[in-house]
Amino acid sequence: MLQVNNNYLKLPGQYLFSEIARRVECFKTQHPDIPLISLGIGDVTQPLAPAVIEARQRAVAEQADAASFHGYGPEQGYAFLREAIVTGHYARYNVRVAADEIFVGDGAKSDLGNIGEIFAADARVAVCDPVYPVYLDTNAMAGRAGIYSPDGRWDKLLYLPCTEDNGFCPDPPGPHDPVPELIYLCFPNNPTGSVISANQLRAWVDYANDHGSVILYDAAYEAYMTQDYPHSIFEIAGARTCAIEFCSFSKLAGFTGIRLGFTVIPRELNVQGTCIRELWQRRQATKFNGASYIAQRAGEAVYSDEGYRQVQQSIAAYMANAVLIRTGLKELGLSVYGGVNAPYIWLKTPDQMDSWAYFDHLLQHAQVVGTPGSGFGPCGEGYFRLTAFGSQTGTVEAMKRIRKLYGAC
């Protein structure tokens, strides 16, 4: 008798964002005349760079003529984009990556969610706590996570607590701890906004090489760093034998709606003698028909001189919001993290309020919406995430309201 993949039935409901929406709706029904400001969104709000729009328009025009029409493209992505990534991104950080080690896809989420397929079903997985939920749920769907317990953890996953004490950046496990085989790291981090230094990342690379583990490195927010931290795990010696890197045009260039990302698998990455790059190539050739030509031309434009400058301006505008939020909250005496090298501000809820109580407090008394930290994992309890992706006027107004709430306007 046919059965469904039982692992899906073990997934908890998507409680976080549906519960936020429920509470927001409830507030709006009770106070239809009070406008809310959301600093909870993880989506960009600024329009695409002019250079990107022009590239898209040119690509659309090409599709209107049989002589320049493009149908199916290479599964791994067009060479023009992969070359642009090599010279426009990796060369900037003195990183040696070959174009044929780059797999262009429709965004980081798909590849992060699918990569587990090429590893054993019983691979031991480590994730940060708090964490971007995609790593958890996709491993649960694959049957690697075990049972979800009421304390908000999967019993087979290894959790790496990210706390104030470790600067929200965990060290590798000690000699007596269980050894994770797949290790998800994301820096700059969503949700905590923390970064990892070259020395800390080197410790992880050395650990992975010593133990035969693979690091799945999510660099979706690398463009937001204003200080000197690694933009790529491949800046670290030894990473080519133990790491896969996931990058996205979503936050780099506002492509959340266009959809474009890329994954880098070095030739040297082997597991028990099997070349991981070849395995992923086989997987992609079977299950993926490439990102659209128009999206890839738009991505290429991001690395043109004009495009790069324009994209940096958008990022700078978001980071100006981050500064407003961060400094504003600090002036109120709150403990605030992130917001310097990431578009996320992670604040400690005052008066030991739990994350949801603080959500309600800001909603009811300042009409500002954020995201409860507990929604990202048990170690997020007692924290709250605000994002810099809103408009400047919305961010200024939100901070005015928060200052007023604390009697400091």
* Nearer to ligand PLP among residue 188 and residue 328 (C-beta): 188
Among 78, 119, 132, 187, binds ligand PLP (CB under 6 A): 132
Site for ligand PLP in 34-53 (CB under 6 A): 42
Q: How many residues bind ligand PLP (CB under 6 A)?
A: 14
Burial class for 255, CB neighbours closer than 10 Å (0-12, 13-18, 19+)? buried
Among 138, 139, 190, 232, binds ligand PLP (CB under 6 A): 190
* Nearer to ligand PLP among residue 46 and residue 209 (C-beta): 46
* Nearer to ligand PLP among residue 42 and residue 161 (C-beta): 42
* Nearer to ligand PLP among residue 225 and residue 402 (C-beta): 225
Does 248 contact ligand PLP by CB under 6 A? Answer: yes
Return the H-helix or E-strand segment holding 305. Answer: helix 305-331
Q: Which stretch binds ligand PLP (CB under 6 A): 105-113, 122-130, 269-277, 297-305?
A: 105-113
Residue 251 C-beta: closest distance to ligand PLP, Å: 7
Burial class for 172, CB neighbours closer than 10 Å (0-12, 13-18, 19+)? buried
Does 186 contact ligand PLP by CB under 6 A? Answer: yes
Residue 341 C-beta: closest distance to ligand PLP, Å: 14
Q: Which stretch binds ligand PLP (CB under 6 A): 57-65, 75-83, 101-109, 230-238?
A: 101-109
Quick check: 402 and 368 in contact, CB under 8 A? Answer: yes
Structure-token match 């400001």, residue found: 37
Structure-token match 């964490």, residue found: 131
* Nearer to ligand PLP among residue 27 and residue 288 (C-beta): 288
Site for ligand PLP in 107-126 (CB under 6 A): 107-109, 112
Does 256 contact ligand PLP by CB under 6 A? Answer: yes
Residue 129 C-beta: closest distance to ligand PLP, Å: 14
Amino acid identity of residue 13, one-letter, is G
What is the rounded CA–CA span in Å between residue 180 and residue 8? Answer: 23
Residue 135 C-beta: closest distance to ligand PLP, Å: 9
Q: Which stretch binds ligand PLP (CB under 6 A): 82-90, 103-111, 145-153, 359-367?
A: 103-111
* Nearer to ligand PLP among residue 107 and residue 180 (C-beta): 107
* Cβ burial 193-226 (10 Å sphere, 16+ → b, else e): bbbbeeebbbebbebbbeeebbbbbbbbbbbbbe
What is the Cβ-side half-sphere exposure of residue 337, based on CA atoms within 13 angstroms? 25
What is the Cβ-side half-sphere exposure of residue 376, based on CA atoms within 13 angstroms? 27
The DSSP-derived string for 117-135 is: GGS-TT--EEEEES--HHH
Residue 45 C-beta: closest distance to ligand PLP, Å: 14
Site for ligand PLP in 202-231 (CB under 6 A): 218, 220
Nearest to 241 by CA among 116, 101, 115, 114: 101
Site for ligand PLP in 261-290 (CB under 6 A): 261
CA end-to-end distance (rounded Å), the chain? 66
Quick check: 355 and 339 in contact, CB under 8 A? Answer: no
* Nearer to ligand PLP among residue 75 and residue 218 (C-beta): 218
For the record, the structure tokens of 266 come out as 């070095």
What is the Cβ-side half-sphere exposure of residue 237, based on CA atoms within 13 angstroms? 1
Contact residues for ligand PLP, defined by CB under 6 A: 42, 107-109, 112, 132, 186, 190, 218, 220, 248, 250, 256, 261
